[in-house]
Amino acid sequence: GQNIDQPTEMTATEGAIVQINCTYQTSGFNGLFWYQQHAGEAPTFLSYNVLDGLEEKGRFSSFLSRSKGYSYLLLKELQMKDSASYLCAVRDILPGGYQKVTFGTGTKLQVIP
């Protein structure tokens, strides 16, 4: 099975930087995804990490440490539209080669003026 832990809620100020952490426990790790989900809408893909290190994509960066079972999503120059839930999702290779993606419960980020 998998355990994925994220903070439930965070608040940050417009223009600031926020880091959303995700820890996981898995047996056949094969990649970690971050998704953004606005209320009532479907998740949209933000980033993917499978090797240790930092992946940067504009205002968004994602970091992975496989040995620690740890990832974070870094959002810079926060904008009001960044208020959303951020879902950490882990892909496992299960016995038989079957791949499965499991989502965390998400971190609800509120950006305030």
Partner 1 sequence: DAMVIQNPRYQVTQFGKPVTLSCSQTLNHNVMYWYQQKSSQAPKLLFHYYDKDFNNEADTPDNFQSRRPNTSFCFLDIRSPGLGDAAMYLCATSRDRGSGGSETQYFGPGTRLLVL
Residues that bind partner 1 (CB under 8 A): 4, 30-31, 33, 40-45, 48, 50, 87, 93, 98-106
Q: Would you say 11 or 13 has its CB closer to partner 1? A: 11
Beta-strand ranges (E) seen in the chain are: 3-5, 9-13, 18-25, 29-37, 44-49, 53-57, 60-65, 70-75, 84-93, 99-103, 107-112
Cβ at position 78, least distance to partner 1 in Å: 22
Minimum Å gap between C-beta 113 and partner 1 is: 25
* CB of 40 vs partner 1, minimal distance in Å: 8
